């Protein structure tokens, strides 16, 4: 068994897809298991090539299945390295971390894009990769189609654009004839309801808390547009090449943004405070990505 650790969220899984696909191509006959949160399982199925999901939410000590090869796509160590060693692997592929007594592997680079980071690590071990291989399978029956997705939530408060501004954007999109939906997790439903109310959207426009990861992916895959902060929905838009505008801050898009050669995606960043991005700038970017997608 090859055991891969990526015990994080939607965006983390999406940015790890090229590395996971590279492992699948390199070891077509081996069982490939992914240690990840159970709630991500519906989305893992859309990656393809993953034989099993090993429940693992974060880096709490737990018993992992024995693996001949353990691959750390989670972090630079030492905790993630030590967790994988609990599977008693014959080999561990990971970034060098003397603190975890792992000196094999490339050096970590803080300024590297997340997709490229894991591809580079595998290349160091001789595995060819394709960093552009970001697509996901399209769910067959999304709960809503042809919508403009507005996603105001983000795990970290510092990455959340003000809900009043999301509401202004949502109202403008609705005035253009878009059917606007507001997505998010169950915990983000109050923010989603606030945005919908401020934008005068109908009650059924709020999908937050009502979709599992695969259903959310289906909404995005069949959407006309996505407007979000730096969070998982933006990465789903990249995976499905849906026109998107994503506001970044404090993290720069150089680390987590969409591929810069895709004109249907715009990553906006004006320094460490996401609130520095204005509504008019977002609406101008919406015009740009929709025109690029139509060209």
The 10s digit of each residue's pLDDT in 24-70 is 999 999 999 999 999 999 999 999 999 999 999 888 877 899 999 99
Q: Show the tokens assigned to 143.
A: 């709960």
* Residue 143 scores a pLDDT above 80: no
- The CATH class, in words, for 2-124 is alpha beta
Q: What is the pLDDT of residue 67?
A: 95
* Residue 142 scores a pLDDT above 80: no
* Span 262-277, average pLDDT: 96
Q: Which residues contact 150 (CB under 8 A, 6 or more apart)?
A: 166, 169, 170, 173, 180, 181, 182, 183, 195, 227, 228
Least confident range from 51-65, 208-222, 228-242, 271-285: namely 51-65
* Span 75-102, average pLDDT: 95
**Measuring CA to CA, which residue among 1, 41, 49, 59 is closest to residue 21?**
49
Give the span between the Cα atoms of 2 and 34, in whole angstroms: 8
Give the span between the Cα atoms of 102 and 111, in whole angstroms: 22
CATH architecture observed for domain 148-294? 3-Layer(aba) Sandwich (3.40)
3-state secondary structure of 223: coil
Residue range(s) of every CATH 3.40.50.2000 domain in the chain:
2-124, 148-294
- Torsion angle, CA of 132/137/141/142, rounded to 10 degrees? -30
Instruction: Give the tens place of pLDDT for each residue, 148-207.
Output: 999 999 988 899 999 999 999 999 999 999 999 999 999 999 999 999 999 999 989 999
User: In Å, what is the CA distance from 84 to each residue of 30, 93, 98, 104, 131?
Assistant: 18, 10, 15, 15, 24
Cross-strand bridge partners of residue 36: 55
* Residue 73 scores a pLDDT above 90: yes
Cis peptide before 78 (omega within 30 of 0): yes
Binned at pLDDT 50, 70 and 90, residue 6 comes out as: very high
Give the span between the Cα atoms of 138 and 126, in whole angstroms: 31
Q: What is the pLDDT of residue 145?
A: 84
Q: What is the pLDDT of residue 33?
A: 97
| Phi–psi pair at 220, nearest 5 degrees | -65, -45
User: In Å, what is the CA distance from 166 to each residue of 19, 29, 162, 197?
Assistant: 33, 47, 7, 11
Q: Which residues contact 284 (CB under 8 A, 6 or more apart)?
A: none
* Span 135-143, average pLDDT: 85
**Measuring CA to CA, which residue among 247, 236, 238 is closest to residue 265?**
238
């Amino acid at each position: 068994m090859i055991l891969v650790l990526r015990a994080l969220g939607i965006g983390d899984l999406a940015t790890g897809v090229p590395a996971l696909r590279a492992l699948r191509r390199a070891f077509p006959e081996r069982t490939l298991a992914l240690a990840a949160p159970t709630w991500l399982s519906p989305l893992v199925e859309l990656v393809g090539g993953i034989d099993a999901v090993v429940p693992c939410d974060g880096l709490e000590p737990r018993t992992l299945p024995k693996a001949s090869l353990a691959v750390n796509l989670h972090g630079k160590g030492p905790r993630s390295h030590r967790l994988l060693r609990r599977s008693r692997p014959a080999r561990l592929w990971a970034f060098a971390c003397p603190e975890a007594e792992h000196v094999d592997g490339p050096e970590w680079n803080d300024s590297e894009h997340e997709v490229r980071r894991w591809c580079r690590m595998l290349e160091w071990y001789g595995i060819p990769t394709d960093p552009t291989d970001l697509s996901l399978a399209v769910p067959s029956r999304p709960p809503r189609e042809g919508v403009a997705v507005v996603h105001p939530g983000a795990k970290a408060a510092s990455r959340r654009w003000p809900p009043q501004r999301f509401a202004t954007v949502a109202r403008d999109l609705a005035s253009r004839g878009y059917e606007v939906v507001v997505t998010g997790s169950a915990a983000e439903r109050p923010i989603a309801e606030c945005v919908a109310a401020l934008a005068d959207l109908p009650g059924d426009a709020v999908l937050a808390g009502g979709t599992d990861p695969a259903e959310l992916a289906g909404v995005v895959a069949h959407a006309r547009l996505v407007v979000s902060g730096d969070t998982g929905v933006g990465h789903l838009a990249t995976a499905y090449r849906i026109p998107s505008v994503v506001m970044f801050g404090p993290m720069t898009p150089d680390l987590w943004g969409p591929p810069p050669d895709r004109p249907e995606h715009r990553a906006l960043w004006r320094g460490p405070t996401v609130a520095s991005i204005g509504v008019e700038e977002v609406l101008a970017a919406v015009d740009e990505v929709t025109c690029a997608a139509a060209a």
